[in-house]
Structure 1
Amino acid sequence: MIVLHASFPIDPDKREEALDLIEDLVEQSQAEDGMIDYRATTDVNDPNVVRFFEQYEDEAAFEAHTQTDHFQEFEAALPDLLAGEPEILRFDVESATELDL
């Protein structure tokens, strides 16, 4: 399984535009083959930071996602929406276990 965690600092003046693109990106990405989970949320401490959490079954699913029209549209628009450098972390995971609180 591949897990991505990405943080994007969004320009406050472009926030609504960014959130509209992100909403479309998330909706379409969740329907992709090989997608386990795909979510975006705003940071509770800074509403201009959007964090993505993505889980893919394998490398093929991740690569397929990067070739979709909705991903490429978001990627092309991203430079104009950012207020700083994004941080993107990739984790290659052998197993995952749900924990009880």
Structure 2
Amino acid sequence: MYIVIARYRARPETVGEVAELLPSLAESSRQEPGNLSYSITQDLDDPLVFLIVEKYEKATDFDAHRDSAHFKEIGISKIIPLLEDRQVESFNANLT
């Protein structure tokens, strides 16, 4: 399994818009081949911060996600320009 954790920090004036857009990105992403789960949380202490945890069968499934039309349309074109900061980490969960 391949896990991706993205931490988004919205600008104060865009947090509402980011919160409205993220569910549509998640819904489309959950339909992708190889996607096992896609969850979004908003920090209780700092509501500008969103944590996205994505699980895929393999790294190439995540690569396909980043190349998908919905990620380009919603993620890259709409959400990312509204952010103050964005950090993305990837993990290999196939360790035994």
- What band does the TM-score fall into relative to the shorter chain? 0.7 to 0.9
Mapped partners of 1:80, 1:89: distance in 2: 19
Structure-1-length-normalised TM-score: 0.84
**CA distance in structure 1 between the aligned counterparts of 2:80 and 2:33, rounded to whole angstroms:** 28
- Distance in 1 of aligned mates of 2:80 and 2:60: 26
Q: What amino acid maps onto 2:53 in structure 1?
A: F
More strand by share: 2
The offset of 1:79, in angstroms, is 4.1
Percent sequence identity is 29
Which of 56-65 and 70-79 deviates more? 70-79
Structure 2 match to 1:99: none
How do 1:26-65 and structure 2 match up within 5 A?
A: 26-65=26-65
Give the 5 Å matches for 1:1-101: 1-73=1-73, 74-83=75-84, 85-95=85-95
Amino acid at match of 1:39: S
What secondary structure, in the 3-state scheme, does the structure 2 residue paired with 1:44 have? coil
Larger radius of gyration: 1
Q: Which runs of 5+ in 1 are unaligned?
A: 97-101
Which segments of 5 or more consecutive residues in structure 2 lack a partner in the other structure? none
